[in-house]
Amino acid sequence: MQQFINTALGGLTTGMVYAAFALALVLIWRSTRVVNFAQAPMAMVTTFVALAVIDAGFSYWIGFAVALAAGLVLGAIMERGVMRHVQGKGEINAVILTLGLFIVLHAAAAVVFGNDFRSFPAPFGVRGIEVGGRTVALTGFGIFTIIAVLVVMGLLVALFRFTDLGLRMRAAAFNPEVARLLGVRVPRMMTLGWALASLVGSLAGLLIAGGSLIHPSYMDSVVVLGFVAAVLGGLDSPLGAVVGGLLLGVTLAFVSGYLGSQLVALAALLILMIVLMVRPGGIFSTTAARRV
Amino acid sequence: MKRMKQVRLTPVAALVASALVLSACGAGGRDDDDGDAADSGSTVGVTDDKVTIGAHFPLTGVAAPGYNEIPTGARAYFDFVNANGGVHGRQIEYVVRDDAYNPTNTTKVTNELLLQDEIFAMVGGLGTPTHSAVVDQLNEEGVPDLFVSSGSLMWGDDPEARPMTFGWQPDYESEAKIIGQYVAENMPDAKVGLFLQDDDFGEDAEKGARQFLEEQIVGVERYTSGNTDVGPQIAGLQGAGADLVLGFNTPAYTALARLVSLSLGYEPQWFVSSVGSDSPLVGSLLAEFSEGAVKPGAGALDGVMTTEYIPTLDQGDDPWVQLWERVWEEHGEKGDLSNYKIYGMSHAYALVQALQGVGEDLTREGLVEFMEEQGEGLDGPQLAPFRYGTDSHLGISGMRIVELEGRGSKELTPVLVTDIGDAEITEDTSGQADDAPPESGIPE
């Protein structure tokens, strides 16, 4: 029973990280209609930035804020400097370009930050919380993870649903030409979308790194799993991304704990295949997938 | 059309003719020095004043931390020997190529070592998955393949299939047997959990441990290298009620397992095999989480039991460690001496010893023959003798069990030796653990 609870709680926390990552993918999809595979190495870079700041003697929270700011800037730079040049040249070009960025960022990070495993501090300690004399697998940092992701999801829902800005971002992504005719500054919206997505991505990076070890490829498994979570949720809805992330996290924790850790990747891709075949619009889609 | 064919055939004919002439000469030559076996062997990579050897190591990539220091240690020792005149007047040229712990790369760099660098022998190539990609090629081409940096059984349990390959460190099965027997005798009430890497490493180890602990094992968990989320595995061991965890894992996973068990409030006794217990490395990984959770620095593994088969950095009084310090000071690159560099120096020492032993007429066949006939008697830093012979090419035969303590360790057993299968575990009587290097630091 204890194992069951601890496995479930562990899955809940990692699921929240997948959710954060899926949120970043959803954000970029909603604002530019591109799936960004470079999200993982971008988050990895900003996490290393945070570690450099913390190692320089600043507090965890300064490192945390610097990493989020770095994410914002990095996202904007990626869009302005790289992605903009393939805009309107076929959807596949942009996706392949993000794959290229994936490899470039990886190699650059290995050169700049080194290839070693490094430990990344957690602000709330790494011991589990005691409930009735028993320790449960939920650390202070785990609770912080869950709250942070829920808050971000709430903000994103609010942004897209209730603000003018969110509407313009969706319009710019959905139909740039018409949006432009209606007075939306499309390029600016695209940059903003990338910047915000990259910020959420850096948050995911920081959450998965806290109280664990990082190295240049520590986010690589998350890129696949975050993508699966986003697809589970329909790639279009923040709520779906979070639910997808949680489902995936808990399922994979049980697969790993009760069936074997070698089956984790297999199980994730199996889930992806089944969802794409049975419900291509995600498990929460009520209408048929929209064609763009 | 006809003419073209003739033109094309000419060089082929020439080749065939010259090959015939050459082989005729060769045959004639061999008849002349009949009885002098050393002359008929392969001398690729050997000249009067130089012998070229090669190795593949992960210098970049995830496996690089720690492992990339092994060749720098070996190189420092070779430079030390070269500065003192080399071996039989030959300087040792050491070519290291980076395979990033990727078997595909290992195949590529091994081809480069063989064809481009024309190495005499492969020495210390690292990794089970990586080296198994090239072991057959090296054997087919008759290239000596000494001191593979891995504890897989593959390097020595079947000399007929792989006559050129020799292991180095104690194999995982023997190590697990020694650990298993210790646990069975000294902690008969412990409920044992196994935390294993999901490949040969874990498999060989489980086989050895089960010989003694079949009754005591309550849970077995395997992690996949690369997946850093070991939460479900540790929760599994906790759920099974294990109060003693035997870890056959790499150093990063020792740190990860310790972290996860903190979050689970799980406090078993840990027993980590020699591979995963490099205290400075694990300690530096755990140092960041020092908020009262884990003690910072090398003491982070206090109370953890492990094994050792060569003297390590913390044993500053050991004459071998003093030699390694001297070598590193005189010929090392930047950075401090580490246990990984000592590992490299230790197998470099064994190679120099073997080259000395073969004599001035160095051939590939001669080296392998020497290893089989006299390899068992080689002394050196290893605490227990090698097992080299015609029936086995396995390396160091034993180790002692220690408990980590601050920067050092406390001996729990004398050096124990054994072999694979149901070979008995006995106390070592060779005195290997108490020997010292010659004054010059170079084997005679």
Are A6 and B198 inside 8 Å of each other by CB? no
- B237, B357: one domain: no
Q: Where are the domains of chain A?
A: 14-223
Q: Please check whether residue B417 lies inside any domain of the structure.
A: no
Are B236 and A257 inside 8 Å of each other by CB? yes
Give A256→chain B minimum CA distance, Å: 6
Q: Highest mean pLDDT range out of A63-72, A266-275, B58-67?
A: A63-72
CA distances from A187 to A85, A95, A176, B414 (A): 11, 18, 9, 73
Model confidence pLDDT, tens digit, residues A97-154 = 989 999 899 888 888 887 777 888 877 766 777 776 677 777 888 888 899 999 988 9
CA distances from B376 to A17, B387, B394, B398 (A): 54, 6, 10, 13
Ranges A58-72, B187-201, B220-234: which has the least confidence: B220-234
Interface residue A260 vs chain B (CB under 8 A):
yes
Are A128 and B263 inside 8 Å of each other by CB? yes
Helix (H) or strand (E) holding B367: helix B364-374
Q: Which residue has the higher pLDDT, A201 or B36?
A: A201
- B210, B325: one domain: no
Give B56→chain A minimum CA distance, Å: 18
Query: Domain boundary at B308, B328, B351, which?
Result: B308
For residue B27, name the pLDDT band (cuts at 50, 70, 90).
Answer: very low
Model confidence pLDDT, tens digit, residues B120-152 = 999 999 998 899 999 999 999 999 999 999 999
For residue B293, name the pLDDT band (cuts at 50, 70, 90).
Answer: very low
* Residue A152 Cα to chain centre, angstroms: 11
Helix (H, G, I), strand (E, B) or coil at B154: helix
Residue A272 in this model has a pLDDT that exceeds 80 = yes
Burial B406-426 (b: 16+ CB within 10 A, else e): eeebeeebebbbbbbeeeebe
- Chain A residues inside the 8 Å CB shell of B236: 3, 7, 257-258
Residue A31 in this model has a pLDDT that exceeds 90 = no
Which among A129, A111, A102 is positioned nearest to A43, based on CA atoms? A102
Interface residue A217 vs chain B (CB under 8 A):
yes
Percent of chain A surpassing pLDDT 90? 19
- B185, B301: one domain: yes
Residue B113 in this model has a pLDDT that exceeds 70 = yes
- Check: CB of residue A137 under 8 Å from CB of residue B264: yes
- B179, B285: one domain: yes
- B104, B216: one domain: no
Q: What phi-psi label fits residue B282: left (phi over 0), alpha (psi between -120 and 50 degrees) or beta?
A: alpha
Q: Please check whether residue B226 lies inside any domain of the structure.
A: yes
| Alpha-carbon span B287 to B279, nearest angstrom | 11
| Alpha-carbon span B265 to B113, nearest angstrom | 50
Residue B169 in this model has a pLDDT that exceeds 70 = yes
For residue B286, name the pLDDT band (cuts at 50, 70, 90).
Answer: confident
- B296, B342: one domain: no
- B358, B339: one domain: yes
What is the structure's pLDDT at B40? Answer: 67
Which of B61, B64, B229 lies nearest to residue A14, judging by beta carbons? B229
- B118, B154: one domain: yes
Burial A195-223 (b: 16+ CB within 10 A, else e): bbbbbbbbbbbbbbbbbbbbbbbbbebbb
- B272, B350: one domain: no
Residue A66 in this model has a pLDDT that exceeds 90 = yes
Q: What is the mean pLDDT of residues B65-78?
A: 91
Query: Any idea what the CATH number is for the domain that residue B246 is in?
Result: 3.40.50.2300
- Chain B residues inside the 8 Å CB shell of A111: none
Percent of chain A surpassing pLDDT 70? 96
For residue B21, name the pLDDT band (cuts at 50, 70, 90).
Answer: very low
Strand pairing partners for B272? B247
- B180, B290: one domain: yes
Ranges A62-76, B286-300, B345-359: which has the least confidence: B286-300
Are B228 and A2 inside 8 Å of each other by CB? no
CA distances from B240 to A218, B179, B285, B346 (A): 29, 21, 28, 40
For residue B386, name the pLDDT band (cuts at 50, 70, 90).
Answer: very high
- B166, B190: one domain: no
Ranges B199-203, B300-304, B395-399: which has the least confidence: B300-304
Residue B281 in this model has a pLDDT that exceeds 80 = no
Residue B56 in this model has a pLDDT that exceeds 90 = yes
In chain B, the number of structural domains is 2
Query: Domain boundary at B278, B308, B338, which?
Result: B308
For B405, other C-beta atoms within 10 Å of its C-beta total 16
- pTM for the model stands at 0.80
For residue B4, name the pLDDT band (cuts at 50, 70, 90).
Answer: very low
Ranges A153-167, B166-180, B266-280, B285-299: which has the least confidence: B285-299
Query: Domain boundary at B274, B308, B342, which?
Result: B308
| Alpha-carbon span A21 to A230, nearest angstrom | 8
Ranges A156-165, A168-177, B330-339: which has the least confidence: A168-177
Model confidence pLDDT, tens digit, residues A164-221 = 888 888 888 878 888 888 888 888 888 998 999 999 999 999 988 887 888 888 888 7
- Check: CB of residue B384 under 8 Å from CB of residue B399: yes
What is the structure's pLDDT at A67? Answer: 94
| Alpha-carbon span B91 to B81, nearest angstrom | 8
Helix (H, G, I), strand (E, B) or coil at A146: helix
Q: Which domain holds residue B295?
A: 172-308
Which among A15, A45, A40, A65 is positioned nearest to A197, based on CA atoms? A40
Calculate the average pLDDT of chain B: 85
Residue B157 in this model has a pLDDT that exceeds 50 = yes
What is the structure's pLDDT at A287? Answer: 55
